[in-house]
Amino acid sequence: MYGLLSMEITNQDCDFTRIEAMRNRMYHRKATICAQRAEIITASFQKHEEDPIVIKRAKAFADILDQMDIYIEQDTLIAGNQASRNFAAPIFPEYSIDWIIEELDEFDKRTGDAFSIDEETKEKLRKIAPYWKGKTHQDEVLKNLSPINRLAEQQGVLHRGGISMSGDGHIIPNYEFVLANGFGGMREIAKQHLLNDQDLSEEQIAFYEASIITMDAALRYCKRFAKRAKEEANACGDAKRKSELLDMSQMFAHLMEGKAQSFYEAVETVYLVHLLMMIESNGHSFSFGRFDQYMWPYYEKDRANGMLSKEKALELITHFFIMTNSLNKVRPWDHTQYSGGYPLYSNLMVGGMKPDGGDGTNDLSYLCLEAMALTGLPEPNLSARFFAGSDHAFMKDVARLIRKGFGMPSIFCDEVCIPAMMSLGLKEEVAREYASMGCVETAIPGRWGHRATGMTYVNFGKIIELVMYNGYDPSTGIQLVKLNGEAGKAIHYQSYEEVFAAWETLLRYYTDLAIDCDLVCDRALKYHDADAFASSTVNCCLARGKTLKNGGAEYDYVSSSNIGPSVVGDSLAAIKKLVFEEKKLTLEQLQDAMLHNFAGLEGAKIRKLCKNAPKFGNDDDYVDQIVADVYESYLKLLPLYHTDRYGKGPIGCTYTMSTSNITSYVPNGFDVGATPDGRLATMPLNEGCSPCLSADKEGPTAVINSVSKLPNQKMAGGQLLNMRFTPGALAGEDNLEKFTCFMEAGRKKNIFHNQFNIVDSETLKKAKAHPEDYPDLMVRVAGYCALFSTLMPEAQDAIIARSEHDWR
């Protein structure tokens, strides 16, 4: 019997030796750059210059699928490749090309997320670059971005991230719909609209024609794998593998012409849809939604008919998990610092409440946990939902998987997440269907538009620094707001209330600019990210004849991305206590110490006072309430804003809040000088809603109690909490039970989400010094996991600096 968690399974229908070999190959895979897609789309765009963009992109998608190299990974039961090699990143010149050419000779020299690239590939990319000059998504964004936005970026308050130079991604397809209809059925829906709908606009006609083109192309892509599998079977000397390849060939020969016919077909289709969306667009966070819910009918039927054993289902899921790690994306170096570790943020969620309020946990929930235990790879980004009705045994298995130490799954509390989704106006039965999209962003699968996370990052840490200098930035000398009405950095706050009012003034000013930047990016993406294939998988797009960016989705809510709310709260607490209550410092003394990064004897004394001021994460109402006030100051602003799709079909089209900010808390810290909480210049900000690095001194329960006081049931975009425990804290059955109860207590303590690293500092330090000895050390970076060795040193240091909890 075999089972890494609680399951007892045999190896009769599940080849564990093969899984181990496939996993090890993925651990040692090498990131490279592939020029094939770039060459094909360039030729296709040149050939179809006069077509509407949605048709031009559809034809290019078809050309790519028809002409790209295909291969079947050794031993795999799940097939489909994104590029010409495993873990090769294709290039998407239609979104941006300048940075690619500029960084060609630097890809293999990066300190994190390095990519090998040969001279032939470099020359191919240089050859196509002139065609795209002035035609890309990035070109359009830069052309329309206001000068004042550029100044805010120079200050380090705003960062456009990758959304100004890449596709959008951030969707969960309606997999239930796709599996029930197939690509053939979706094509017929589009055809019927063209035949039967009256008074179609040119936009709708073009969308339906593009949808048909992409579905035909997807079916031809399947046929190519049918042929490839048969060819490999004919050349295969191993009887078992030959039989598997022949079965694969038969499956691909009719795959997705209509409804999925088996659990195997359904798993392969889910992987293919994900893969095809990543070929169509270089966005990320294409997520799998509630896998155990929409896959259950296929599993249940095959099990009842004797066609599928539990072990075979586990093998298929495990191969699917492994194959998601063959995909890759390259980002510019300045954006890579915000998302280190080659992440794709492909979230897959199990467990939780069904729309009728019952428990959705089933065999597949456990099998997904077991599959992740077998693979231990960064993708998919596994998450587990739970609520009062969840079986304790399920939570115990979640804890067992977390104990293995590679950061999965993260956990979501239905009692908090569902009310948060309802705060947008969703009905309860709809809100109960939420799933995580990307890191911890929440959306309703198949019903949401692109992204639950905003596009422009707002650096809260920089804003609180500007509060201390009258809106003046000491680093750049740029001053966009004069808080006291005069130029320069002099401040004259007479009370804490005046300081907080200054915070609110700057927060509103820079949020206005962030939304303006979002709109510039969004309007450019309406054209450059006209994704007929991906849009066709989301509710209402086929009915309306619109892409997601043009208002095709049923719902459209965006959460604004911010970094550093705990830094702001800790800083405000220090100002309130030290300056206005205890009068141990004057504002001028604090400002001068910050300006000199707390240097010298006097600076060190002031920093000690600041470091000893109340800190979020220690169950101290004094500072916890101030951090909550920071959240509320932002939450009251966001409903004032609308997305570009407002009034064009989707429900909502407003903003909400999220603390999902990937690794941006590290590079955003680079832009922030010393802050009133005693943090030194350029050091990381806090991650998500977590306490500042090493600020939490009173143990894990105190952290939970502090976070519980935040307005978590309003955080419809996602609330991220990261904690690190020593391996000893989960060792043995008694500690495992204690940890399980700790997780379950979260839903009673108003905790939206939690995720855990189970690794000690000494191991992390050794892995940083000798990465070759720790090739499989995976860590929870932010809302995603990555192999520790792939991270840039600053991100590694930030993870090492996190508080290491044990039981007290």
pLDDT tens, position by position, 674-715:
999 999 999 999 999 999 998 999 999 999 999 999 999 999
Which residues, listed in sequence order, are joined to residue 51 by a DSSP beta bridge? none
Banded pLDDT at 3 (limits 50, 70, 90)? low
Same domain, yes or no: 376 and 327: yes
pLDDT, residue 240, reads 96
Same domain, yes or no: 323 and 426: yes
Q: What letter represents residue 685's amino acid?
A: L
Identify which has the larger pLDDT, 91 or 806: 91
d(CA 787, CA 127): 34
Among 360, 361, 369, 352, which residue's Cα sits nearest to residue 415?
352
In a domain, 525, yes or no: no
Same domain, yes or no: 121 and 38: yes
Same domain, yes or no: 93 and 3: no
Which residues, listed in sequence order, are joined to residue 758 by a DSSP beta bridge? 725
In a domain, 750, yes or no: yes
Is the pLDDT at 49 greater than 90? The verdict is yes
Is the pLDDT at 2 greater than 70? The verdict is no
Is the pLDDT at 796 greater than 80? The verdict is yes
Q: If you average pLDDT over residues 751-759, what whole number do you get?
A: 95
Range of the domain at 67: 32-159
d(CA 380, CA 785): 9
Quote the percentage of the chain above a pLDDT of 90: 88
Is the pLDDT at 335 greater than 90? The verdict is no
pLDDT, residue 170, reads 92
d(CA 172, CA 115): 28
Banded pLDDT at 782 (limits 50, 70, 90)? confident
Same domain, yes or no: 95 and 2: no
Banded pLDDT at 781 (limits 50, 70, 90)? confident
Banded pLDDT at 632 (limits 50, 70, 90)? very high
pLDDT, residue 340, reads 81
Which regions of 521-627 does DSSP assign to beta strands (E)? Answer: 555-563
Among 194, 158, 33, which residue's Cα sits nearest to residue 103?
33
> Burial, 787: exposed, middle or buried (Cβ in 10 Å; 0-12, 13-18, 19+)?
buried
Same domain, yes or no: 149 and 287: no
CA 110 to chain centre: 22
pLDDT, residue 314, reads 97
Find all residues with CB under 8 Å of 765, minimum gap 6, and list them: 800
Banded pLDDT at 117 (limits 50, 70, 90)? very high
Q: Which of 108, 136, 159 is the last residue of a domain?
A: 159
Helical spans, DSSP H, in 325-453:
333-336, 363-375, 392-403, 414-422, 428-431
Q: 468, 490 in Cβ contact below 8 A?
A: no
Q: If you average pLDDT over residues 380-404, what whole number do you get?
A: 97
In a domain, 272, yes or no: no
The number of residues making up the chain comes to 808
Helical spans, DSSP H, in 200-309:
202-234, 239-254, 263-280, 291-294, 296-304
Same domain, yes or no: 55 and 154: yes
Is the pLDDT at 806 greater than 90? The verdict is no
Give the position of tokens 């004849």: 545
CA neighbours closer than 13 Å in the CB half-sphere of residue 546:
17
d(CA 263, CA 654): 38
In a domain, 367, yes or no: yes
pLDDT, residue 5, reads 78
In a domain, 184, yes or no: no
Same domain, yes or no: 290 and 330: yes
> Burial, 744: exposed, middle or buried (Cβ in 10 Å; 0-12, 13-18, 19+)?
buried
Q: If you average pLDDT over residues 539-544, what whole number do you get?
A: 98
Is the pLDDT at 808 greater than 60? The verdict is no
pLDDT, residue 786, reads 85
pLDDT tens, position by position, 124-181:
999 999 999 999 999 999 999 999 999 999 999 999 877 899 999 999 999 999 999 9
Same domain, yes or no: 411 and 292: yes
pLDDT, residue 454, reads 63
d(CA 211, CA 190): 7
Same domain, yes or no: 3 and 76: no
Domain count, the chain: 2
Q: If you average pLDDT over residues 503-512, what whole number do you get?
A: 98
Q: If you average pLDDT over residues 376-399, what whole number do you get?
A: 96
pLDDT, residue 453, reads 64
3-state secondary structure of 665: helix
Q: If you average pLDDT over residues 613-642, what whole number do you get?
A: 97
Is the pLDDT at 766 greater than 70? The verdict is yes
Q: Mean pLDDT of all residues in the chain?
A: 95
Quote the percentage of the chain above a pLDDT of 70: 99
Find all residues with CB under 8 Å of 592, minimum gap 6, and list them: none
pLDDT, residue 1, reads 41
Among 706, 721, 784, which residue's Cα sits nearest to residue 752?
721
Q: If you average pLDDT over residues 726-732, what whole number do you get?
A: 95
pLDDT, residue 234, reads 97
Give the position of tokens 């922030």: 672
Strands 804-805, 722-725: pairing is parallel
In a domain, 464, yes or no: no
Q: 385, 32 in Cβ contact below 8 A?
A: no
CA separation, residue 689 to residues 569, 714, 719, 741 (Å): 11, 14, 7, 22
Same domain, yes or no: 4 and 102: no
In a domain, 186, yes or no: no
Q: If you average pLDDT over residues 442-465, what whole number do you get?
A: 89
Q: Which of 102, 127, 159 is the last residue of a domain?
A: 159
Tokens of residue 298, six digits: 């296929």
Q: Which of 107, 136, 159 is the last residue of a domain?
A: 159
Banded pLDDT at 406 (limits 50, 70, 90)? confident
What DSSP state is assigned to residue 575?
I
pLDDT, residue 336, reads 85
Q: If you average pLDDT over residues 517-521, what whole number do you get?
A: 94
d(CA 254, CA 257): 6
pLDDT tens, position by position, 299-316:
999 999 999 999 999 999
Q: If you average pLDDT over residues 493-517, what whole number do you get?
A: 97
Is the pLDDT at 252 greater than 50? The verdict is yes
Is the pLDDT at 452 greater than 80? The verdict is no
Same domain, yes or no: 3 and 140: no
Q: How many CB atoms lie within 10 A of CB 482?
A: 12
In a domain, 608, yes or no: no
Banded pLDDT at 332 (limits 50, 70, 90)? very high
Among 670, 26, 667, which residue's Cα sits nearest to residue 374?
26
- What are the two backbone dihedrals, phi and then psi, of residue 83, each rounded to the nearest 5 degrees? -140, -175
> Burial, 769: exposed, middle or buried (Cβ in 10 Å; 0-12, 13-18, 19+)?
exposed
